[in-house]
Structure formats: C-alpha cells, structure tokens
C-alpha cells in the first residue's frame, strides 16, 4: 500500500469534513438568529412598544422571513382617444391634449400612464346603497371597460365624504395589482361609487417585464413597523386612534423616485420587495424590505 497517498486522502477527507461541519454550524447559528427575530417574545415586545406609542394593531404581525427577487416592471400605456371612447362614447370634446369631455363626464389622461374619470351627472342622494351592491356595480363597470383581470384584487372598501365628490358620501373601492399573489405597487384602480352609478375611476397600472436571478433576504415585518412608526404617528396627529389593519409583503415601484421632469419618457423601472402597511383610515405606507 502507498501510505503517502493514503495519508493525503485522509487529510483531504478531514478537511472536507471540517468544512462541512463549519458550514452547518454557521447555518445553525444564522437560523437561530432568524428565529430570535421572529420569536413570540420578540413579537410581543414590538407590539408593546407600538402600543406604548399609541399605535394599535388590529392584525397579527407576519412572522415570515424569506428571500424574494427584484422585478423589472413597465407602465401600462393608456391612449387618450381610446380612453375617451371607452368612458364617454363616440361623441366627445377634446380640451387641450389630454382632457376629454362629454356632457358632465370627463376623462383626463396623464402622461399615458395614469387616467382619471369623473361622472358629475349622477344625482346626489344622502343614503347609501349596500356594500355588496357597490362591489357589484364596481366589478361590472371594470369588466365593461376592459380593466378587470385576474391580477387585480379588491383590497379595501371605504365609505365617507371624499373631497372631489362634494358633501355626499361615496364608496371608495381600492383594487391592487398582484404578481404571484403578492401586491405590485404603486399600481392600482380606485373606483368611486355613488347611490346609483360609478362617479369616478382613477388608475395607474404596471405590467410585469422580467425577474432578476438573485434573491435578496428581506427585513421582518417588525422592523418595517418600527421604521414607519414615527411617520404614521406624525401623519395622523390629532385624528384620533391610529389603527394598523393590514401589513403584507410584496413589490413596490415608487414613481416618486423618478425625477418628475422625466415622467413623460419613463417607461419602466425596478420593483423592490417591500412591506405595505395600511391604516383603518386608508392611509398606506410602503417600506423597502431589502436587508442591509
């Protein structure tokens, strides 16, 4: 037997075994650190800290701690005359380059990426229809106008006075776009329902382009809440109890990150993993979820 060769084989075997043990020990330590971050005790400490600072939780804080990829998205393009015919019919007046009017109805196309529809011809009545009826009217309207698809999910419903619609309460239905069952923001359709008809629609939609190969570890929901705590308290100062009703993980492309002077030429951008925090008054906060 060649003892020199056998000795080398044993040494290499010991090295491989040690490397394997080191990797497993490091993974075990890393996993323990993650479990500590999302342990019940840690969650309770965060909940207590939020309560002490006058933030009420009407949800359970998510415990998921995963990795997600970064997405490339592009704006869905809206063409002005197509919008006008869809919402106003064949006869309408064009005002300037982006506004279209037919009687008391109008559509404004903003940089071919966002549009606003208003119907001022609906009779103002001070008693409300049932919420289920408002949902039915909204869904039928979106289907009729070609805006409803499987990626659009109804997330929130509010009822009350909204400045743009006078002193008569209306329903506001918030639809968010999704990608693989996670929200894709800032991408939405807002539908405003009066007593008998749709009184307004506002929409800005994104389209999925591609997924980057690398996945990135995200921060836990607890950290997202703590990061936005001051903003939520400051924004709602003097408005009564601040209640968090929703927190979920998804993707967020912020159009405000782009210089507004370039708005007309921007066609696509990067959607990063983000936490979305929603209050009971409808205010929404996004927190970039990339772990430093």
Three-state DSSP class for 175?
A: strand
How far apart are alpha carbons 239 and 218 in whole angstroms?
32
Domain segments of the chain: what residues? 1-37, 39-72+211-288, 77-204
**In the CATH scheme, what architecture does the domain 77-204 have?**
2-Layer Sandwich (3.30)
Say which CATH topology domain 39-72+211-288 has: Lipocalin (2.40.128)
Q: What is the pLDDT of residue 4?
A: 54
Instruction: Identify the H or E element spanning 42.
Output: helix 40-52
Q: Which residue from 66, 63, 69, 49 is spatially nearest to 221, judged by alpha carbons?
A: 63
Is-contact 134 211, C-beta < 8 A?
Answer: no
**pTM exceeds cut of 0.85:** no
Within 103-197, strands assigned E span 105-110, 114-119, 152-160, 170-179, 182-193
User: What pairing do the DSSP bridges indicate for beta strands 105-110 and 114-119?
Assistant: antiparallel
pLDDT by 10s per residue, the chain, length 292: 555 554 444 444 444 443 343 234 234 333 443 433 468 888 999 999 999 988 999 999 998 888 999 999 999 999 999 999 999 999 999 999 899 999 999 999 999 999 999 998 766 565 678 999 999 999 999 999 999 999 999 988 988 888 888 888 899 999 999 999 999 988 999 999 988 889 999 999 999 999 998 898 999 999 999 999 999 999 988 888 899 999 999 999 876 665 555 667 778 889 999 999 999 888 899 999 987 6
Angle (CA) 141-146-148 rounded to 5° is 70
Report the b/e string of 39-76 with b at 16+ CB within 10 A.
eeebbeebbeebeeeebeeeeebbeebeebebbebbbb
């Amino acid at each position: 037997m060649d003892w020199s060769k056998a000795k080398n084989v044993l040494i290499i075997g010991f090295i491989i075994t040690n490397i394997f043990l080191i990797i497993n020990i490091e993974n075990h330590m890393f996993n323990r650190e993650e479990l500590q971050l999302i342990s019940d005790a840690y969650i309770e400490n965060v909940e207590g800290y939020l309560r002490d600072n006058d933030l009420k939780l009407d949800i359970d804080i998510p415990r998921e701690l995963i990795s997600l990829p970064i997405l490339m998205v592009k704006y869905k393009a809206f063409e002005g005359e197509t919008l006008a015919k869809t919402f106003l019919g064949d006869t309408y007046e064009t005002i300037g380059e982006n506004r279209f009017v037919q009687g008391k109805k109008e559509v404004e196309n903003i940089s071919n990426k966002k549009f606003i529809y208003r119907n001022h011809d609906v009779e103002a009545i001070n008693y409300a229809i049932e919420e289920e009826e408002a949902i039915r009217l909204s869904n039928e309207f979106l289907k009729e106008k070609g805006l409803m698809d499987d990626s659009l999910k109804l997330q929130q419903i509010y009822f009350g006075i909204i400045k743009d619609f006078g002193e008569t309460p209306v329903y506001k239905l918030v639809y968010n776009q999704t990608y693989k069952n996670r929200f894709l923001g800032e991408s939405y359709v807002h539908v405003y329902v009066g007593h008998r008809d749709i009184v307004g629609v506002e929409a800005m939609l994104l389209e999925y382009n591609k997924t980057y190969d690398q996945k990135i570890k995200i921060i836990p929901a607890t950290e997202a809440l703590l990061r936005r705590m001051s903003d939520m308290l400051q924004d709602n100062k003097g408005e009564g109890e601040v209640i968090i009703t929703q927190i979920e993980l998804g993707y967020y492309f912020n159009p405000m990150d782009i210089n507004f002077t370039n708005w007309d030429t921007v066609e696509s951008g990067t959607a990063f993993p983000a936490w979305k925090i929603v209050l009971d008054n409808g205010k929404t906060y996004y927190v970039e979820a990339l772990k430093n």
